[in-house]
Structure 1
Amino acid sequence: MASAQPQPGRVSSVTDILSHPRGGPTVLRIVLGTHLRRLRERAGISREAAGDAIRGSHAKISRLELGRVGAKGRDIADLLTLYGVVDEEQRDQFLTLARQASTPGWWQKYSDVLPSWFETLIGLEEAASVIRTYEVQFIPGLLQTADYARACIRLGHPHASHRQVERRVELRLERQKLLLRPEAPKLWAVVDEAALRRPLGGAEAMREQIRRLRELAERPNITLQIAPFRLGGLAAAGPVTILRFREPDLPDIVYLEQLNSALYMDKREDVEDYMAVMDSLCATAEPHGKTAEFLDGLRFLDGLKRSL
């Protein structure tokens, strides 16, 4: 992930972050790293020199400033000294932030089935104010039922044991709880008609999934649009997710998932390109107000309409 650049006119202090914590340790690590990078650059110190100060390398400093790793209190203290931060109150604030950033997130209990590249997404979702996503083949994970999720997981992990599959299903359902919180993020999802016409998990599982989509589409923080086949070609070649955050120091981030890895992009030009694609998708897809009607009209499963 590229070095985080705050959006113009949006600045926060460590005091603000500690007073109103937003998100979990993933986001706090990124924020801490952003502030440490600013201090280093302000002091005119290279990454190599900073790495020497903590008995590490410039690569370690880079990972720290990108928020990819946590930091020991001793390392933070040494860096603050190197950067000329001598005020005890300010130093205490940075050390407190470092401790909070090292606290395991709730998802750590699923570390046996959670790859590190996906762990980052869960941490970012925790702090997001808006999550925009487009899916071609599957219903978005945040909207899946247990049976549908189970079918998706078995498809992607054909050699997983029953326990591993169930652990992944449990993780996916736990992840969805953020949409039900009092300060839940806004989820804006565009789903290709192809995902709705694939009876993944069988007819009954798909009927339950369609019912779930209709229920969720009525929530005030969820916008669901369908991209029907009649539109022909679409601007996006594959699934994409864009996250926007409450924390001013965090830029918008584009998430592109691959088979065994993921790409996170936050360079402004990249984000703007994907944002334009997402805007185009939302403009051409069926409006949210027609989603229930579209779902009701699906006749590809026997008895689907009667069951709704």
Structure 2
Amino acid sequence: MTQAFSDDRGAPTALRMRVGARLRRYRLAQQVSREDAGWHIRASESKISRMELGRVPFKERDITDLLTFYGVEDDERQDLLTLVREANTPAWWQSLSDVVPPWFTSYLGLEQAASMIRTYDLHFVPALLQTPDYTRALLELSCSSSQEEIDRRVSLRQERQHVLRGTSPAVLWAAVDEAALHRQLGGPEVMRRQLEVLAEASRVPNIRLHIGSFRADALAMAGLPFTILRFAEPELPDMVYVEQPTGATYVDRPLDVEQYALAIDRACAAAAPPSRAASAVEAILRSHTPAQQQQLG
């Protein structure tokens, strides 16, 4: 698990994406088509595409044959093969796979690989900024899992938050509606601690929090919660993740991604800027007097 939170966060998906991007660079440098590359390793053009996007595990033999075909030798060749072996190592979240929906496992890898995460949620504090007690209260409200399963899912969400720490953390842009910060999820004490953590997080350089006022309509117009992921490798397209109760949609078509980006841009423009996030959260904290907490609780 330590490797999962190294400088590149060690996520197998992140490593696969790096390998795939380099394979694409080597192929284009030699002016080789995906079809020809696929034929060389007895595979289809679509498999080469999936390999270059880092969406499938690698067979070392396939990589060796492609590197020979592309004329990659010596240290550069060995460096990439080392990355391939690391990328094929099981992800840290595999031990929790029994409590993770099938459609969510791909997102976990993409999130760990992202250099920028832009997220919008009208109803709740962003997952990457939630306290354990807030997450537990949310899960107890939204699912019928056993207490043990809920504990493991809480642990998973806390582990995910390492993506915002370390020597090369991702940048988080989050648009949150003010109503989510007034909602007493888990009770007054749970919410008070969550707001304290949120205020602290808003001062972290790589976390930019936009809080939408009750009076702003732009956040509500954005629709369902969604997340836009951007990656350090310029060859990799931005990805949008939209989750529903029984599944999820992954969007990477540029025109579609642009529409989601415009929606979150409008939401952020209508919200308070990150420089005012801490004071906005602290004002909500101050408004929660003991009398009000007792009444709301």
So what's the TM-score if we normalise by structure 1?
Answer: 0.78
Greater shift, 291-300 or 117-126, is seen at 291-300
Match of 1:202 in 2: 187
Q: Helix, strand or coil: the match of 1:229?
A: coil
Retained in 2: the 8 A contact 1:22–1:247?
Answer: no
* Residue 131 of structure 2 corresponds to residue 162 of structure 1: no
Retained in 2: the 8 A contact 1:29–1:101?
Answer: yes
Partner Cα distance (1:270, 1:162) in 2: 39
Q: Which protein, 1 or 2, shows the higher relative CO under an 8 Å CA cutoff with sep ≥ 6?
A: 1
* Residue 7 of structure 2 corresponds to residue 25 of structure 1: no
Amino acid at match of 2:20: G
Cα deviation for residue 185 of structure 1 reads: 2.3
Cα deviation for residue 28 of structure 1 reads: 1.9
Seen in structure 2, the aligned counterparts of structure 1 residues 271 and 155 have a Cα distance that, compared at 3 Å, is: same
Cα deviation for residue 57 of structure 1 reads: 4.6
Match of 1:74 in 2: 61
Match of 1:214 in 2: 199
Match of 1:9 in 2: none
Retained in 2: the 8 A contact 1:26–1:67?
Answer: yes
Partner Cα distance (1:257, 1:29) in 2: 24
Retained in 2: the 8 A contact 1:127–1:247?
Answer: no
Retained in 1: the 8 A contact 2:53–2:236?
Answer: no
Q: Deviations over 1:65-95 (max 9, x none)?
A: 33221111112223334x3436344433332
- Which blocks of at least 5 consecutive residues in structure 1 are unaligned? 1-19
Q: Deviations over 1:238-267 (max 9, x none)?
A: 212222333333333222222233223333
After superposition, residues 1-308 of structure 1 pair within 5 angstroms as 21=8, 23-40=10-27, 42-47=30-35, 50-51=37-38, 53-81=40-68, 83-85=69-71, 87-158=73-144, 160-234=145-219, 235-288=221-274, 289=276, 290-296=279-285, 298-299=287-288, 302-304=291-293
Cα deviation for residue 300 of structure 1 reads: 9.3
Seen in structure 2, the aligned counterparts of structure 1 residues 46 and 180 have a Cα distance that, compared at 3 Å, is: closer
Retained in 2: the 8 A contact 1:236–1:277?
Answer: yes
Amino acid at match of 1:30: M
Retained in 1: the 8 A contact 2:121–2:175?
Answer: yes
Partner Cα distance (1:272, 1:227) in 2: 21
Retained in 2: the 8 A contact 1:225–1:291?
Answer: no
Partner Cα distance (1:254, 1:70) in 2: 22
Partner Cα distance (2:91, 2:66) in 1: 25
Greater shift, 165-174 or 181-190, is seen at 181-190
Q: Deviations over 1:203-261 (max 9, x none)?
A: 33222222222222232332222212211353411212222333333333222222233
Cα deviation for residue 27 of structure 1 reads: 1.8
Retained in 1: the 8 A contact 2:38–2:48?
Answer: yes
Q: Deviations over 1:118-169 (max 9, x none)?
A: 23333233333322211111111111111110122233331x2221111000
Q: Deviations over 1:92-121 (max 9, x none)?
A: 333222212212232223222233432333
Cα deviation for residue 284 of structure 1 reads: 0.7
Q: Percent identity?
A: 49
How much is the aligned-residue C-alpha RMSD, in angstroms?
Answer: 2.9
Retained in 2: the 8 A contact 1:130–1:244?
Answer: yes
Retained in 1: the 8 A contact 2:218–2:267?
Answer: no
Partner Cα distance (2:66, 2:167) in 1: 38
Amino acid at match of 2:143: H
Q: For this pair of structures, how many residues does the alignment match? A: 283
Partner Cα distance (2:98, 2:107) in 1: 17
Seen in structure 2, the aligned counterparts of structure 1 residues 162 and 22 have a Cα distance that, compared at 3 Å, is: closer
Retained in 2: the 8 A contact 1:24–1:127?
Answer: yes
Greater shift, 34-43 or 71-80, is seen at 34-43
Cα deviation for residue 26 of structure 1 reads: 0.5
More helix by share: 2
